[in-house]
């Protein structure tokens, strides 16, 4: 059959230990980490993107699957009736690419350039626009809004936007 990616639930704050335990069992593991912009002294500079979850690439059923199920700090695999549910084929590759981009820019945006958005608050409330880009790690964004027959760039917090439609 071949290997697929599955989601493993870990014990709280034990993602790194569970990943190491699975790797010792020769399971390919992906633990997505989001790097912090300004880590504080004594704190981690990266945190799990999905706390208590990681991704494991393995073959089910197999001896590898049996070893992975009972690895220390792995609570269970997401699925039904004792069978894990495989992720779509390109899911992990797409997640890796998006997370690499987020770690370069400091955050994961809910919008892609060109997305049609509606402004939900502030002086431009209810206007539609086009998401242009993220401006800062704290969520400041640029939206192009049609005013006076011109596209005007407007800067506002991403939480004041929602997808149009």
Model pLDDT for residues 51-97, shown as the tens digit of each residue:
999 999 999 999 999 999 999 999 999 999 888 999 998 999 988 88
17 and 92 housed in the same domain = yes
- The residue written with tokens 């797409």 in the block is 94
CA distance 92 to 31: 10
pTM comes to 0.64
pLDDT tens figures, 132-148: 887 766 678 889 998 87
100 and 132 housed in the same domain = no
The total domain count for the chain is 2
Domain end among 105, 131, 150:
105
Assess if residue 69 is contained within a domain.
yes
The CATH number for 83's domain is 3.30.70.940
Q: Of 105, 65, 108, which is closest to residue 84 (Cα–Cα)?
A: 65
pLDDT band at 119 (very low <50, low <70, confident <90, very high): very high
CA distance 125 to 117: 11
Domain that holds residue 134: 116-163
122 and 77 housed in the same domain = no
pLDDT tens figures, 86-113: 999 899 998 888 888 777 655 566 787 8
pLDDT band at 42 (very low <50, low <70, confident <90, very high): low
9 and 72 housed in the same domain = yes
130 and 101 housed in the same domain = no
pLDDT of 152 > 70? The answer is yes
């Amino acid at each position: 059959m071949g290997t697929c990616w599955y989601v493993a639930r870990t014990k709280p704050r034990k993602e790194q230990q569970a990943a190491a335990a699975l790797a010792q069992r020769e399971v390919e593991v992906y633990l997505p980490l989001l790097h912090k912009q300004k880590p504080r002294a004594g704190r981690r500079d990266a945190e799990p993107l999905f706390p208590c979850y990681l991704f494991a690439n393995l073959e089910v059923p197999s001896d590898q699957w049996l070893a992975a199920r009972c690895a220390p700090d792995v609570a269970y695999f997401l699925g039904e009736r004792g069978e894990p549910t495989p992720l779509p084929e390109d899911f992990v590759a797409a997640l890796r690419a998006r997370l690499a981009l987020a770690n370069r820019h400091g955050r994961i945006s809910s919008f892609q350039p060109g997305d049609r958005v509606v402004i939900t608050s502030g002086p431009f409330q209810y206007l539609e626009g086009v998401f242009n880009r993220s401006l800062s790690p704290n969520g400041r964004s640029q939206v192009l809004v049609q005013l006076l027959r011109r596209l005007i760039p407007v800067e506002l917090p991403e939480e004041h936007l929602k997808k149009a439609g």
